[in-house]
Amino acid sequence: MKKGLRLVSFVMLMAMILGTLLSACSSAPDADTAATQSKVDEILARGTLRVGLDFFVPWAFKDKNGNLAGFEVDVATKLAADMGVKVEFVPTAWDGIIPALLTDKFDVVIGGMGTTTERSLKVNFSLPYEYSGMDLVVNKKLLPNVTSVEDLNKADVIIAVHLGTTAVATAEELTPLAQLHQFDTDEAVLQDMLNGNAMASFSSSPTPAFWAYDYPDTLYRPFDAYLTNEPSAFVVRKGDPDTIFFFNTWIINNQDWLKARSDYWYGTQEWKSMVSE
């Protein structure tokens, strides 16, 4: 199961604040200009926080009644409530979510996005509000005795991954010789393995553990430990230090609440009955 939310370290916090201060000094020549750049001011004036996300159970999904649910939905809903505004969710395909942010389709991505160097060239990240690990699940019949990642690094091995996620980069880095099947949804990734087309899948925890639990006759997790530990952050457009400051402050002040919601969504399956079949 997913590791509990870690407290943000003092060193990381100071580094982020210093970086934001330097950015503010270099990108905002005067107070009036800075004010016009603040997404927080725009949100407050509009009365609505627009949040971009994609559907990944249990991050965000539609329940049996058609309502949005999941960890990211809880986070965005509380953030909006604390700002005194309404929340508007904008479901967006994951491989197009950064371009949509950059064209102002929504104010922020709150969808479990991992912080990567490549992404940070295009957008800015808040402090981490959650951590996930890259995990692996394998088809028992097709690859019954996996003991290391090298067992997957072969030309005749097929690995299914969700397009546009960090699972793609993980597969390309750890198993460059393997063939990749890339899909737009987690459901398609799972079905590819259950159908016997793909032999394994990389995905963020706790998804592989849930799949192995739900299909014990077909799938298994070969390793107890995660392959990586990935921080997740809010994502905003560049050039807006005020908004980053606000989001960082909110994350710091809600550590206990974030941990409790993380433990519920990623450490249990008490919510399982909410998911439509």
Instruction: Summarize pLDDT for 92-148 with one digit per residue, the tens.
Output: 999 999 999 999 999 999 999 999 999 999 999 999 999 988 999 999 999 999 999
> 18 with 54, same domain?
yes
Give how many domains the chain has, as a whole number: 2
Q: Does the pLDDT value for residue 255 go beyond 80? A: yes
Spatial separation of the C-alpha atoms in residues 131 and 47, rounded to whole Å? 30
The pLDDT, as a whole number, for residue 189 is: 97
Q: Are 50 and 106 in contact (CB under 8 A)?
A: yes
CA distances from 98 to 31, 106, 127 (A): 28, 10, 18
Q: Are 202 and 226 in contact (CB under 8 A)?
A: no
The pLDDT, as a whole number, for residue 3 is: 39
The pLDDT, as a whole number, for residue 132 is: 87
> 80 with 202, same domain?
no
Q: What is the pTM of this model?
A: 0.76
> 183 with 270, same domain?
no
> 124 with 237, same domain?
yes
Q: Among 220, 238, 258, give the residue marking a domain's end.
A: 220
The pLDDT, as a whole number, for residue 7 is: 39
The pLDDT, as a whole number, for residue 276 is: 82
Across 157-178, average pLDDT? 95
Total Cβ atoms within 10 A of residue 273: 8
Query: Could you list the residue range(s) of the whole structural domain that residue 205 is in?
Result: 133-220
Instruction: Summarize pLDDT for 196-246 with one digit per residue, the tens.
Output: 999 999 999 999 999 999 999 999 999 988 998 889 999 999 999 999 999
The pLDDT, as a whole number, for residue 19 is: 52
Spatial separation of the C-alpha atoms in residues 265 and 272, rounded to whole Å? 9
Instruction: Summarize pLDDT for 16-72 with one digit per residue, the tens.
Output: 544 544 444 444 444 344 446 699 999 999 999 999 999 999 999 999 999 999 999
The pLDDT, as a whole number, for residue 57 is: 92
> 78 with 137, same domain?
no
Q: Does the pLDDT value for residue 257 go beyond 80? A: yes
More confident: 162 or 26: 162
* CATH number of the domain residue 194 falls in: 3.40.190.10
Q: Does the pLDDT value for residue 275 go beyond 70? A: yes
> 25 with 66, same domain?
yes
> 120 with 70, same domain?
yes
> 143 with 180, same domain?
yes
The pLDDT, as a whole number, for residue 219 is: 97
The pLDDT, as a whole number, for residue 37 is: 64
> 249 with 112, same domain?
yes
